[in-house]
Amino acid sequence: QRSITRRSPRMMAATTFQMVGLMLSARPVAAYRLKLPLPGEYHSMTKFSSRDKYPPRERTNSLVPPRSHRSPQPECSQSREVLLSASLDDEKVEQLFAWLSMAFAGESRYNNLMLAFAAIFGEHAQDSHLQGLVDEALANLPPEDQAVGESFSLGEREASSMGAMGAAQWTGRFKTRPHALLDVRPFESIDEWTQGLSRGSRRTLTKALAQNFSVSVRPIHGDEPAPHSSLAHFRCVVAHEVRLLADSPENFFDALSQAIGRYVNTVSQTGEIREYRDARGRVIAFAHEVRKGRTIRGQWFYANDEAAKAYVWFHSVRDLVKRAIEAKGVTIVDLGPSGSDSFSMLKERYGFASIDNWHMVADYQGPFWYDDRRINGGDDGFFDRLLRMAKI
């Protein structure tokens, strides 16, 4: 539904999905028991005071709790337990994408993430209601490479990008995490940047350049689906988040929830995609970049396990730095915040310094750039004025 896709980019990335009533099973496999409301009894996850004897009973179609709900507490008049298996394969990724496609197409029966996990990862009969929902979704599964995202206008995409770019810090709403910045003005060429790196870093970049993958540029246009809003790219996001976050069975479903939120985020924003495909033509990774003012932001990067072993991230960083050096008017490459200290240290080995007041260094004033041309799809003058005020 339109209202869901417009709320989800901000909400789903900030909301950790919690399966209330989830318990470790005594079974040796990675499995959970989920108390699932019966069909027709799906109530909202609502926050309620300890002074209330019972939580309010409000029905909802939302995939995620409303923004103000911090401690989901579902309740229902009837429920049953479904055993969930924390295992992932290509078939389950397809089922999950098919389910989400139905939800975003306006099918309210699919507008429940907890129900999706139960139907796809749960044990139930082949003729059950849950299996019927999965089968119907698969019957409408889009082709692997077909872009199926919502056709946001360019102005809407730019507005959606501002939060991920860290606009909260330069607007004074709150301070974000430090950003990893590289000033490219001292370099005349990519070779000069490379020569300043350690021997180990140079060796890694050499390996990245020797890999057998192809890279193509996919611009994100307004009023049409994002080029990476496909099953092929969704696979990369899911594989990336599960590899990084699902370090235990308990974190498996949280990683899937994060993957869904991050996918919704990236396909709603502006910029361009650097798409990586292997020798068989399959998408293995993509880098999402946004240029605004005098800064190029490495906004998102997602890769499957194959790409992680093929040094694709290192290739994407080198390529971004090379283009920034060669681009007229670009002064800073911003790789954004890091999810861990080790990742910050990795970026530092390639010249990216972790800066607290990054908005004082990275110049984001001015319009967005597309194909080396300045185009302003929306009115970002307000944000530019706030940025100038923050630098005073």
Q: Is residue 255 within 8 Å of residue 277, measured between CB atoms?
A: no
Contact status, residue 173 vs residue 307, Cβ threshold 8 Å: no
Question: What does the pLDDT read at residue 284?
Answer: 98
* Average pLDDT value for residue range 205-209: 97
- What sign does the dihedral 241-243-247-252 (CA atoms) show? positive
Q: Exposed/middle/buried for 284, CB within 10 Å: 0-12, 13-18, 19+?
A: buried
Rounded average pLDDT over 254-267: 95
Q: What is the pLDDT of residue 298?
A: 95
Whether residue 20 is predicted with pLDDT greater than 60 in this model: the reply is no
Using the Cα atoms of residue 231, residue 232, residue 234 and residue 235 in order, give the sign of their dihedral.
Answer: positive
162 pLDDT higher than 60: yes
Rounded distance, CA 218 to CA 271, Å?
9
Say what the pLDDT of residue 249 is: 75
Smallest Cα–Cα separation from 289: which of 223, 361, 181, 369? 369
pLDDT at 13: 32
Residue 153 has pLDDT above 80, yes or no: yes
Residue-level pLDDT at 176: 83
pLDDT of residue 1: 31
At residue 373 the predicted structure's pLDDT band, cuts being 50, 70 and 90, is: low
User: Which is more confident, 103 or 62?
Assistant: 103
* pLDDT tier for residue 250 given thresholds of 50, 70 and 90: confident
Check pLDDT > 60 for residue 22: no
pLDDT tens figures, 48-58: 222 333 333 33
Tens-place pLDDT, residues 312-329: 999 999 999 999 999 999
Average pLDDT value over all residues in the chain: 80
Low-confidence winner among 31-35, 115-119, 156-160 (lowest mean pLDDT): 31-35
Q: What's residue 337's pLDDT?
A: 92
Percent of the chain with pLDDT over 70: 73
Query: Which whole number is the average pLDDT over 247-251?
Result: 82
**In the predicted structure, residue 63 carries a pLDDT above the cut 90:** no
Cα distance between residue 102 and residue 113, in whole Å: 12
Residue 120 and residue 138 in contact, taking contact as beta carbons nearer than 8 Å = no
Summarised one tens digit per residue, pLDDT across range 262-303 is 999 999 999 999 999 999 999 999 999 999 999 999 999 999
Residue 126: what pLDDT? 87
At 327, phi and psi to the nearest 5? -75, 140
Tell me which of 174 and 146 has the higher pLDDT.
146
pLDDT band at 341 (very low <50, low <70, confident <90, very high): confident
Q: How confident is the model at residue 83 (pLDDT cuts 50, 70, 90)?
A: confident
User: Is the pLDDT assigned to residue 42 strictly greater than 50?
Assistant: no
Residue-range domain boundaries for the chain: 154-360
CATH 3.40.630.30 is right for the domain spanning 154-360: yes
pTM here is: 0.79
What's the rounded mean pLDDT across residues 372-377?
Answer: 61
Supply the pLDDT for residue 12. 36
Q: Is it the case that residue 384 has pLDDT exceeding 80? A: no
CA distance from start to end of the chain: 42
The Cα–Cα gap between 146 and 234 comes to 11
Is the pLDDT assigned to residue 4 strictly greater than 90?
A: no
pLDDT level of residue 16 (50, 70, 90 thresholds) = very low
